[in-house]
Amino acid sequence: MLDAAMVREFTDLLSDNGVITDEVGLRSYECDGLTGFRQVPALVVLPRDAQEVAGAVRLCAKYGMPFVARGAGTGLSGGAMPVADGVVISLQKLRRILEIDVENRRAVLEPGVYNLEISKAAAPYGLYYAPDPSSQQVCTIGGNVAENSGGAHCLKYGFTTNHVLEMEVVLADGSVATLGGPTGEQAGPDLRGLFIGSEGTLGVCTKVTVRLLQTPETVRTVLADFPSIEAAGDTVGDIVDAAIIPAAVEMMDSLAMEASEAATGAGLTVDSPAALIIELDGPADEVEAEFEHLTAICERHGATRLHVPTEAEERQKVWKGRKAAFAAVGRISPDYIVQDGVVPRTRLAEVLTRIAEMGRDAGLRVANVFHAGDGNLHPLVLYSESAGEHDAAEKLSTDIAELCVELGGSLSGEHGIGTDKACSMPTMFSADDLGVMHRVRLAFDPDSRCNPGKLFPTPRLCGERPGKYAPHPLEEAGVIERL
Amino acid sequence: MSTTVTPTTVDDLRDAVLDRPGTLRVAGAGTAADWAGTPAPADTVLDLTGLSGIVTHNPGDMTVEVRAGTPFAALQAELGEHHQRVAVDPARAAEGATLGGLFATADSGPRALQYGSLRDLVIGATIVLADGTVARSGGHVIKNVAGYDLTKVLHGAHGTLGVIAGLVLRLHPSPQATATVAVPCDRAASADLARRIADSPAEAVAVQWHGVAGQGGRLLADVEGSESGADARARRLADAVGGELLAPDDAAAAWEAHAVAVRARPDGRAVLRFGVVPSALTGVLDGLEADAGDLGDVTASPRTGVATVALPADADVVAAAHRRVAAAGGTSTLRQRPTGADLPAFGPAPASAVVLRAVAASLDPDQRLGRGRLAPWVPTPESTGVSA
């Protein structure tokens, strides 16, 4: 239990009033973007640099306290939900872009730097940072590392793990190590790749070196309406078969477009059953040739409208219509849950049909916004908390994620497992699979104090709603451990 | 004496791991048997070349699941029939190297500039641990963040930590056409030329400098695209940097000569592969040459910072070379160790070696697998197990 003397140690360690202990202050950290899971932490610390992070982690180690690293708190899986009697280590003061190395096309960043800030800082040099989660204006690179974030453009360019070269991490005992190296080819096992996407359970990242790419010579975007979801899905299939790798292929259904159009006025056709936003980038001649091919494929599948924005501003407007869709759904439903399952792209039509059936059976509406190129779905389950629909929505959402696994896919494409989907992990992984992951976890963090209760299914998490932690008698006796 | 077992299924492999007492050494085609640390004598050699073939190829999803012992060249040939490929081009593939072997040794080729190495293309794996546990990680979809990305830790593990039984890879379409631009230049000029290539809109997928000992060198840049597009861009690139667009046969010969240099086994020499931040590459190569003398045929990627050089097979010289790379912030791995030579495999242990040892102790506590391969970062235990 945290006492006044311990709080004083944290206060002495951290400069600039870097400790929050008051109830109101603590409460503002009680959840991340998944607001259904809440837990007020015992303490929040805001270190100013990597040394202070390491110091705070060492104090946690000294007192055997669990801790949760937190970036902007925009995660959608409860990965940054605090632990009762634990410390939240907020990285929001570590916000410096340490270097834009134009010559070597890389940027060195503190973890609290916002994703979009990287590309803004690199833009004057004709460079940019490729992974672009929808929340890129407000999510941090440290959080991206924890979740291995993707984005609309990762079909062509890959995920966070494909763009991070090197990281400085603070391990559970407060020691500091560098993972990765200055090139993609490093000596020895790729601990960097293991750490990325580990959802804060292996340590705290305090510095990141990412690759920067050259801004493509040409970008062409088309917003295409289709008479049915199937026609849009078939279009994507034919694009892939034509050996075209678009920078992005996004699909929205009518419900999602209705919400987004009301919020953004992006120019979406609200009564169209489906639309694709397809973007090509690269050398001008290649892009022009492929773009022609692409629009022909759209027309062959009965596209009812092809909107080709010519100005950058117009293109951004179309993208705004896509990227704002999650938030916009709040306009057509008081509450909603965002899902993040993945299916092999060739099973898109099948999964969408089944989701529609499941929604009907549950008496709930489901809006669909997703990355069609890589099969990453984002069904939005709409419900009303006040109408008592929460549990039904929660169940439908879980059933959809598990359906994705049944169809040969994954529980999560980019939002992570966190608290939200930990209980579904056994549908995707065997006890042996999870056991091996857990062995790796213990190698990094023998006492499981880094972000406990996330990613791995635990009886406590999966048996009951989160509440105040109290050690089980068997735990105190050292017979069992809390994952 | 070690005995060799040749499993043909994952179950066979697991049974072999469980049934055979003592230490185990994983072997593929044997093209990198003397890379990294010197393996301690093993009681059993697990020959994975029998665990071969494609399990499932889903052209529409652009994914393939492959058994670890599959020769990489055969895999590429089969995928090529569907106009698809694994977008890596390691030089060893031509010698029969297996997919599992290339992954375990973190090998990659010139196209790493554009597509990364196998670690960037792998999306799932089946692994067998030293205690017989069979575990899967990842899956069959290219976008997947469920659970730890366990597969990554076997990339560069050189047959330690766990046995890779199979991998799932994401595929890319084969380009319609490829065109190569060559620019004769010495090492000193290569960095600036390569930067100009990178800054052009050509989108070169590979930029390599190949220097032949005692002679000059040249920079090779590959452009991929449509029949007309690749050619036109390569032409513009050649004009911009004062190079020559090679005829298809000449381009193939130039890249083959480059690959031969990468996989060369100069007699009685040590070979070192290293990576540093690109702007430090020329300086490190100059320093190595000053320390060790002739570096043999040198292949270097001025844009990724990865290079392969030959050194005298002398422990002090090799150790000094590792230190020089480390001083520039890079890492290096020994890629050829003449028989009997006791040469350091890696540079100074990084702070993360503590974690590496903990992971090794957790996954393979008795260090049954590939003992010695990651030494000294993962030290070989004193006892040699139950070796007869």
| CATH code (residue B328) | 3.30.70.120
**pLDDT score, position B240:** 94
On chain B, the residues whose CB falls within 8 A of the CB of A436 are 127, 129, 133, 135, 137, 150, 363
β-bridge pairing B24-27 and A213-214? unpaired
**pLDDT score, position A466:** 41
pLDDT over 90 for what percent of chain B?
A: 94
Q: What is the ipTM of this complex?
A: 0.97
On chain A, the residues whose CB falls within 8 A of the CB of B278 are 103-104, 183
Cβ–Cβ gap A161/B149 under 8 Å:
yes
At residue A471, does pLDDT exceed 60?
no
CB nearest A183 (choices: B229, B304, B346)? B304
Residues B49 and B135 in one domain: yes
At residue A482, does pLDDT exceed 90?
no
Q: Which of B66, B11, B23 is nearest to B159 (CA)?
A: B23
CB nearest A182 (choices: B143, B275, B347)? B275
**In the β-sheet with B63-67, what is the strand arrangement from edge to edge?**
B54-58, B63-67, B163-170, B122-128, B134-138
**pLDDT score, position B388:** 35
> The CATH number of the domain where B139 resides is what?
3.30.465.10
Residues B96 and B208 in one domain: no
CB nearest A417 (choices: B147, B198, B358)? B147
Return the percent helix, strand and coil in chain A, to nearest 5.
40, 20, 40
At residue A468, does pLDDT exceed 80?
no
Which whole number is the average pLDDT over B22-30?
Answer: 97
In a domain, B374, yes or no: no
Which whole number is the average pLDDT over A15-40?
Answer: 92
**pLDDT score, position A476:** 52
CB nearest B60 (choices: A192, A237, A440)? A237
At residue A483, does pLDDT exceed 50?
no
Mean pLDDT of chain B: 95
At residue B224, does pLDDT exceed 80?
yes
Residues B308 and B276 in one domain: yes
pTM over 0.80: yes
Interface check for A416 against chain B (CB to CB < 8 A): the answer is: yes
At residue B384, does pLDDT exceed 50?
no
Residues B118 and B245 in one domain: no
Residues B8 and B153 in one domain: yes
Q: How many residues does chain B have?
A: 388
Sequential DSSP letters for A53-69: HHHHHHHHHHTT--EEE
Cβ–Cβ gap B153/A444 under 8 Å:
no
Residue A418 half-sphere exposure toward CB, CA atoms < 13 A: 34
Q: How many residues does chain A have?
A: 483
On chain B, the residues whose CB falls within 8 A of the CB of A178 are 350-352
Residues B128 and B248 in one domain: no
Distance of CA A71 to the CA centre of its chain: 12
Query: Among A29-38, A135-144, A408-417, B89-98, where is mean pLDDT lowest?
Result: A29-38
A329-368 tens-digit pLDDT: 888 999 999 999 999 999 998 999 999 999 999 999 999 9
In a domain, B123, yes or no: yes
Mean pLDDT of chain A: 92
B298-323 tens-digit pLDDT: 999 999 999 999 999 999 999 999 99
Tokens of B369: 């697998």
Please tell me the distance in Å from B193's CA to the nearest CA on chain A: 13
Which whole number is the average pLDDT over B6-32?
Answer: 97
Alpha-carbon distances, residue A222 vs A229, A256, A275 (angstroms): 17, 18, 10
Residues B129 and B7 in one domain: yes
Interface check for A191 against chain B (CB to CB < 8 A): the answer is: yes
Q: Is omega for the bond preceding B376 within 30 degrees of 0, making it cis? A: yes
Domain count, chain B: 3
Residue finishing a domain among B215, B237, B262:
B262
Cβ–Cβ gap B58/A414 under 8 Å:
no
At residue A481, does pLDDT exceed 50?
no
Cβ–Cβ gap A289/B361 under 8 Å:
no
Q: Are B260 and A316 in contact (CB under 8 A)?
A: no
